[in-house]
């Protein structure tokens, strides 16, 4: 069963889809599994792309239909998401206001100047540095930014953190599930295990909904990067159920369908541990695949650990979903000294 979402919802093309899928031969040999990567990190020409472009295609259509002129969103100072919102605004000729909260205690004066936030500023976004602490709750700082746009005579379009807590937030990754099935058929393979970073919820939530409608069961493991398993689980479950209902899937998304592994989140959101840094080096040196300390380095660390321990059985066909984030590496240069 395919979802055929584009005949039922409006999408503004912003990415290069389907994103590539390819074998990671050296990592496969080192880990004893048949490992492939799905490269959403290279699936758009908008400012280094990433997973949020896939989501924002669906939100952008609604923003245009509503006659909005300013995209307003929120994230960490080094947010991949806000950088992609800035990119979409630039591509659509809209203004952009970004609340950049301090969700990470990373002691480096360059942290607020380089990486994602530099790119957002280059693309013309107004960046508001205030607020702190990661949470999936609606933040007062974001609500204040929306009101400021209204007071200035603009018409804002509200995009929550990660484009997640939004009625359309899961559509991009529900559609992703169809993409995977088509590519499996092309390559004559079935991925019994899929590994993704998970945080604000709609990436994994959309995947759960999308895979839910397919006939062959597979294990989708979300590696928590928020260092808050309960918050992540609640966000993913909400997104999965909301998306499943929106696209009209029969059968309830059960609690057991939401697999969150909290072991590789490091000391806190945005802070890498040695396993994360080791995974980043391994991916770079064996496959020239760049991952970041906030999200993909942690999901890759989880994959490596599970393969080495046998939790992912030897010989398994594993899909690693690369969600982007490499621009943040510059902000974490001290971690690699």
Catalytic center residues: 79
Contacts 24+ apart (CB under 8 A), 280-285: 280/336, 281/336, 282/27, 282/30, 283/27
Spatial contact of 28 and 34, defined as CB atoms under 8 Å apart: yes
The Cα 58–Cα 215 span in angstroms is 26
Residue in this structure with the two tokens 């802070």, named with its chain if needed = 271
Helices (H), 213-273: 229-246
Residues 158 and 163: their CA atoms lie apart, in Å, by 9
* Length of the chain counted residue by residue: 337
CA 226 from centroid of its chain's CA atoms? 12
Nearest to 81 by CA among 55, 42, 59, 103: 55
Tell which residue, 148, 50, 54, has the closest CA to residue 97: 148
Alpha carbon distance 36, 25 (integer Å):
8
Instruction: Identify the residue whose tokens are 């205030």.
Output: 130
Strand partners, 318: 35, 193
Rounded to 10 deg, the angle between the 296-309 and 274-287 helix axes is 90
| Torsional class of 199: left (φ above 0), alpha (ψ -120 to 50), beta (otherwise) | alpha
* Cα end-to-end distance, the chain, whole Å: 49
């Amino acid at each position: 069963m395919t979802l055929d979402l584009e005949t039922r919802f409006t999408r503004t093309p912003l990415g290069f889809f389907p994103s590539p899928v390819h074998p990671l031969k050296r990592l496969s040999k080192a880990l004893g599994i048949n490992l492939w990567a799905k490269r959403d990190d290279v699936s758009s020409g908008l400012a280094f792309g990433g997973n949020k472009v896939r989501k924002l295609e669906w939100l952008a259509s609604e923003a245009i239909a509503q006659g909005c002129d300013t995209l307003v969103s929120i994230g960490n100072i080094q947010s991949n998401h806000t950088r992609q919102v800035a990119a979409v605004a630039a591509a659509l000729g809209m203004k952009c206001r970004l609340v950049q909260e301090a969700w990470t205690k990373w002691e480096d004066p360059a942290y607020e100047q380089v990486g994602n936030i530099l790119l957002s500023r280059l693309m013309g976004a107004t960046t508001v540095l205030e607020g702190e602490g990661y949470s999936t709750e609606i933040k007062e700082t974001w609500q204040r930014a929306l009101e400021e746009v209204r007071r200035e005579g603009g018409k804002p379009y509200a995009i929550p953190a990660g484009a997640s807590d939004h009625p359309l937030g899961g559509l991009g990754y529900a559609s992703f599930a169809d993409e995977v099935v088509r590519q499996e058929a092309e390559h004559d393979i079935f991925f019994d295990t899929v590994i993704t970073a998970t945080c604000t919820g709609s990436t994994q939530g959309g995947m759960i909904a999308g895979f839910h409608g397919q006939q062959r069961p597979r294990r989708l493991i979300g590696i928590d990067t928020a260092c808050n398993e309960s918050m992540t689980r609640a966000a993913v479950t909400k997104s999965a159920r909301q998306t499943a209902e929106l696209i009209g899937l029969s059968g309830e998304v059960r609690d057991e369908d939401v697999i969150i592994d909290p072991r590789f989140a490091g000391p806190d959101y945005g802070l890498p541990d040695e396993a994360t840094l080791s995974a980043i080096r391994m991916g770079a040196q064996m496959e020239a695949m760049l991952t970041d300390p906030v999200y993909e380095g942690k999901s890759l660390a989880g994959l490596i650990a599970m393969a080495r321990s046998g939790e992912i059985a030897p010989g398994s066909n594993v899909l690693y979903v690369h969600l982007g984030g490499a621009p943040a590496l510059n902000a974490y240069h001290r971690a690699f000294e």
